[in-house]
Amino acid sequence: MTAPVQTLEFADAREAADLGAFLARLIHYDRAAAVRLQAGGGALAVFGRPASFEVLAIRTARLAVPYALDVTVSAGELLESVDEPAGSAAVPAAVTGPPWAGVLPPRGGWRQVPGLPSEDAVRGALAAAVAEFRARDERLTPADRTRAERDRIGREIWSRTLGDTGLPLRAVHAAQSLGFLRPVRVMVPASATPQEPLALLESGAWLRLRTPYGSIAVRRAGLSGLTVTPA
Q: What is the pLDDT of residues 57-86, one digit of tens each?
A: 999 999 998 889 999 999 999 999 999 999
Cβ atoms within 10 Å, residue 166:
14
Round to whole Å and give the CA distance between 9 and 13. Answer: 9
* Residue 4: HSE in the Cβ half-sphere, 13 Å Cα cutoff: 1
Quote helix, strand, coil % in the chain, to nearest 5: 30, 30, 40
* Residues forming beta bridges with residue 3, ordered by sequence position: 67
Q: Which domains does the chain have, with CATH numbers?
A: 7-104 (3.10.150), 111-228 (no CATH)
Percentage of residues of the chain with pLDDT beyond 70: 87
Residue 46 has pLDDT above 80, yes or no: yes
135 Cβ contact list (under 8 Å, min separation 6): none
Distance CA(231)–CA(228), nearest Å, equals: 9
Indicate whether 7 pLDDT > 80.
Answer: yes
Residue 144 backbone phi and psi in degrees, to 5: -90, -10
pTM for this predicted structure: 0.86
The SS3 call for residue 79 is helix
Residues 6+ apart with CB under 8 A from 95: 34, 72, 73, 74
What is the model's pLDDT at position 169?
Answer: 96
> What is the 8-class DSSP label of residue 102?
G
